[in-house]
């Protein structure tokens, strides 16, 4: 690093690569420069904040060559050398537009190496008082906090920096006589797919009852209210590789006189079943988009019933849709069916979800238990029409097509619309008297999360996206040697009428291996067009390949699939008739070694791709991703 050029920053402003937006080396190095003997330009960007401040940097453009830059955001004295361990490493386009980083101390350093193919980067930086992120709580023991103030905030350890590995913290918010307590989830960033290790448990304090478990996919804003106090527990596993920032929760004690129009749960009996606790939580129906200001009031699900005459049709629109008639508008939110009851008699309500022209509607059921004549009757669409049920429809062309009727106590799969419109018809054929005759007096209804998405739920694949094609993802071995691929909206129903392209580009002499862990693609026999089957297809060519092999059904391909060259194409196609939960697979690029790979040509129908024999070394079947970046 002794030969690196150091650039100092000590006030708010912008930062960028040399001569941005031109290629950095185009003007920094003259043709006669001796530095041209070296393939990379080395720069150190050093940000220094005053005592009591930290640094916030936000990128609005980032495009580097693979594996060249480093980030040091936990430097205690502002000094680094070749032996200093970096805290994050990014390359290519791994830093997204708008992505923000925070330092842990008053120093933050970028070690950047720029090649002739790097387009560079641009962003802004700010100096932020560290006291803004101090919890309004007293630490009574190691990572055990007690709240004594009437309003404030609590944060995960080190916030807004990454939380430590193996963290177990508890926050006690005791009840106050004559006051109601409201807590709101303002920000949440936990490790993806690590809900068994990284999560937040929320308990009612007196009596202690588990209310909620928040994981990486819990969408703020989330808000609940009680008069019985809360206990909040935060747990984390290994946060050293795939780093996450943690949480920010605000709290407020409101006197009963000021909160007389808000929900009062002091006399509400608590169910013993944890899932049933969802029935009395108070959810706010508003946007989760971070830049949106929220003004919606808290909705009490045990308050006054909403009459069918006023709310038989409920319209929920995306924040990108201009619709002054819709009372609910946002990117995502929570909907609780217990708000839409109509006295003692049977009734019907329709929920209409409308996104912009480029969005799809995603529905995730958090709780589902509808009344049936036989307790705990599982879903059976042949009988759902005869009992309480929920019917889902999506727009196909110019008509609404039914996905399925859901009834009983089995939680429906996650749903996604084909276009920007999805409707749910909630039909209650039972009377209140009939429901009260159930021996366990269960809470009937459902709670769902809705989300207006433009990425088909595939952004977690970390692939390059072709914006000019609806579903086109490219995987390059120079950026990531292995990873996961899955169908849109997996593990829920994939959308109808979808063509998804998964393109793999390896280096010279590389092949790609695809191994399916889960496979459920609606279809019959050879998956031909005459059977109206959805299917997955593989090809070694960019052009039309008449000898392609199709896969469908519910049985995973028996062996791993291997390309013949460094190019491979996978197509997933669904029609407008059937629904299924799709597939989940691993991929890995490897250097071809004839002596190690026992290739078997698939002779049936003379299909030209190959399968990986079971004699392949076991290490090639371990296809996990090793993440080299954070946030």
Mapped onto helix, strand or coil, the DSSP state of residue 397 is: coil
- The pLDDT of residue 96 is 77
Summarised one tens digit per residue, pLDDT across range 453-485 is 988 889 889 899 887 677 999 999 999 999 999
Residue 249, sorted as left (phi over 0), alpha (psi -120 to 50) or beta, turns out to be beta
Question: Of 321 and 476, which is predicted with more confidence?
Answer: 476
pLDDT grade for 76, boundaries at 50, 70 and 90: low
pLDDT grade for 529, boundaries at 50, 70 and 90: confident
CA–CA gap between residue 47 and residue 53 (Å, rounded): 11
Q: With residue 25 as reference, give the H or E element that holds it.
A: helix 25-28
What are phi and psi for residue 456, nearest 5 degrees?
60, 15
Q: Is the pLDDT reported for residue 400 higher than 60? A: yes
Q: Is the pLDDT reported for residue 155 higher than 70? A: yes
pLDDT grade for 40, boundaries at 50, 70 and 90: low
Q: Model's pTM, two decimal places?
A: 0.48
Q: Is the pLDDT reported for residue 260 higher than 90? A: no
Nearest to 163 by CA among 218, 234, 107, 222: 234
Helix boundaries (H) for 68-143: none
pLDDT grade for 628, boundaries at 50, 70 and 90: very low
The answer to whether the beta carbons of residues 328 and 283 sit under 8 Å apart is: no
% of the chain residues with pLDDT over 70:
72
Nearest to 495 by CA among 421, 573, 417: 417
Residue 394, sorted as left (phi over 0), alpha (psi -120 to 50) or beta, turns out to be beta
Domains of the chain, residue spans? 5-129, 134-270, 305-454, 459-621
The reply to whether 134-270 and 459-621 are identical in fold is: yes
Summarised one tens digit per residue, pLDDT across range 192-213 is 878 889 999 999 998 888 888 8
Q: If you average pLDDT over every residue of the chain, what do you get? A: 77
Q: What string of H, E and C letters represents the secondary structure of 168-229?
A: EEEEEECCCCCEEEEEEEEEEECCCCCCCCCEEEEEECCCCEEEEEECCCCCCCEEEEECCC
pLDDT grade for 371, boundaries at 50, 70 and 90: confident
% of the chain residues with pLDDT over 90:
39
The answer to whether the beta carbons of residues 230 and 203 sit under 8 Å apart is: yes
Nearest to 487 by CA among 496, 500, 474, 475: 500
Task: Give the residue carrying structure tokens 């307590």.
Answer: 181
Q: Is the pLDDT reported for residue 29 higher than 90? A: no
Residue 433, sorted as left (phi over 0), alpha (psi -120 to 50) or beta, turns out to be alpha
> What CATH number labels 5-129?
2.60.120.290
Q: Is the pLDDT reported for residue 47 higher than 70? A: yes
- The pLDDT of residue 207 is 86
What class, spelled out in words, does domain 459-621 have in CATH? mainly beta
Most confident of 216-225, 236-245, 395-404, 501-510: 501-510
CATH architecture of the domain formed by 134-270: Sandwich (2.60)
CA–CA gap between residue 90 and residue 69 (Å, rounded): 6
Instruction: Name the CATH superfamily for 305-454.
Output: Spermadhesin, CUB domain (2.60.120.290)
- Which of 78-92, 298-312, 420-434, 478-492 has the weakest average pLDDT? 298-312
- The pLDDT of residue 545 is 66
Q: How many CB atoms lie within 10 A of CB 41?
A: 21
- Which of 367-371, 398-402, 512-516, 620-624 has the weakest average pLDDT? 620-624
Q: Residue 575: exposed, middle, or buried by beta-carbon count in 10 A (0-12, 13-18, 19+)?
A: middle
Summarised one tens digit per residue, pLDDT across range 555-589 is 888 889 999 999 999 999 998 888 899 999 999 99
Mean pLDDT of 207-231: 84
Summarised one tens digit per residue, pLDDT across range 332-370 is 899 988 888 766 778 889 999 999 888 999 999 999 998
Q: Is the pLDDT reported for residue 452 higher than 80? A: yes
Strand 144-146 to 138-141 pairing: antiparallel
Cis peptide before 221 (omega within 30 of 0): yes
Distance in angstroms between the alpha carbons of the first and the last residue of the chain: 26
- The pLDDT of residue 53 is 93
Summarised one tens digit per residue, pLDDT across range 495-513 is 999 999 999 999 999 999 9
- The pLDDT of residue 163 is 95
Residues 6+ apart with CB under 8 A from 450: 316, 332, 333, 334, 335, 353, 361, 362, 363, 364
Strand 560-562 to 510-520 pairing: antiparallel
- The pLDDT of residue 148 is 92
Q: Is the pLDDT reported for residue 262 higher than 70? A: no
- The pLDDT of residue 429 is 84
Q: How many CB atoms lie within 10 A of CB 244?
A: 20
CA–CA gap between residue 170 and residue 139 (Å, rounded): 10
């Amino acid at each position: 690093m002794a030969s690196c050029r150091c650039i100092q920053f000590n006030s708010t402003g912008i930062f960028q690569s040399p001569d941005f937006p031109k290629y950095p080396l185009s003007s920094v190095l003259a043709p006669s420069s001796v530095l041209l003997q070296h393939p990379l330009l080395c720069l150190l960007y050093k940000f220094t904040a005053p005592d009591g401040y930290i640094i916030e940097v936000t990128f609005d453009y980032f495009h580097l060559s693979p594996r060249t830059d480093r980030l040091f955001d936990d430097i205690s004295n502002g000094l680094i050398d070749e032996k200093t361990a970096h805290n994050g490493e990014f390359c290519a386009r791994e830093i997204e537009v708008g992505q923000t980083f925070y330092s842990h101390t008053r120093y933050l350093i970028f070690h950047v190496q720029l090649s002739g193919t790097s387009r560079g980067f641009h962003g802004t930086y700010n100096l932020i008082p560290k006291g803004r992120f101090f919890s309004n709580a007293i630490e009574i023991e190691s990572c055990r906090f007690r709240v004594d103030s009437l309003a404030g905030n609590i944060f995960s350890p080190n916030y807004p920096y990454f939380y430590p590995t193996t963290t177990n913290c508890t926050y006690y918010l005791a009840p106050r006589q004559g006051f109601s307590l409201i807590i709101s989830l303002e920000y949440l960033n936990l490790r993806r797919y690590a809900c068994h290790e990284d999560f937040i448990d929320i308990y009612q304090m007196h009596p202690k009852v588990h209310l909620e478990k928040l994981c990486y996919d819990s969408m703020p804003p989330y808000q609940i209210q009680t008069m019985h106090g809360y206990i909040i527990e935060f747990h984390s596993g290994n946060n050293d590789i795939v780093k996450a920032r943690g949480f920010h929760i605000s709290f407020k004690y409101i006197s009963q006189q000021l909160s007389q129009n808000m929900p009062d749960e002091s006399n509400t009996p608590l169910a013993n079943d944890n899932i049933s606790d969802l029935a009395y939580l108070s959810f706010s129906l508003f946007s989760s988009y971070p830049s949106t200001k929220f003004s919606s009031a808290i909705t009490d699900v045990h308050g006054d019933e909403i009459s069918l005459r006023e709310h038989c049709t409920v319209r929920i629109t995306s924040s990108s849709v201009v619709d002054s008639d819709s009372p609910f508008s946002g990117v995502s939110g929570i909907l609780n069916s217990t708000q839409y009851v109509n006295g003692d008699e049977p009734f019907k309500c329709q929920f209409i979800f409308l996104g912009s022209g480029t969005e799809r509607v995603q529905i995730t059921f958090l709780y589902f238990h509808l009344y049936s004549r036989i307790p705990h009757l599982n879903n059976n669409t042949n009988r759902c029409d005869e009992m309480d049920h929920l019917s889902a429809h999506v727009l196909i062309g110019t008509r609404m097509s039914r996905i399925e009727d859901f009834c009983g106590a089995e939680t429906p799969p996650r749903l996604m619309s084909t276009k920007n419109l999805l409707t749910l018809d909630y039909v209650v054929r039972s009377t209140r008297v009939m429901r009260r005759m159930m021996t366990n007096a269960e809470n009937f209804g459902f709670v769902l999360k809705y989300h207006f998405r433009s990425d088909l739920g595939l952004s977690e694949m970390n692939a390059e996206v072709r914006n000019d094609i609806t579903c086109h993802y490219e995987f390059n071995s120079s950026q990531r040697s292995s990873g996961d691929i899955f169908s849109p909206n997996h593990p829920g129903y994939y959308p109808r009428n979808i063509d998804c392209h998964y393109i793999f580009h390896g280096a010279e002499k590389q092949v790609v291996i695809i191994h399916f862990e889960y496979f459920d693609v609606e279809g019959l026999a050879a998956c031909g067009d005459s059977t109206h089957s959805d299917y997955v297809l593989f090809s070694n060519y960019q052009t039309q390949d008449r000898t392609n092999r199709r896969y469908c059904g519910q049985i995973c391909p028996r062996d791993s699939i291997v390309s013949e060259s460094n190019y491979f194409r996978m197509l997933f196609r669904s029609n407008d008739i059937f629904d299924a939960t799709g597939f989940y697979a691993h991929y890995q690029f490897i250097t071809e070694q004839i002596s190690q790979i026992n290739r078997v040509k698939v002779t049936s129908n003379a299909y030209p791709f190959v399968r990986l024999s079971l004699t392949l070394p076991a290490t090639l079947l371990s296809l996990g991703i090793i993440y080299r970046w954070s946030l």
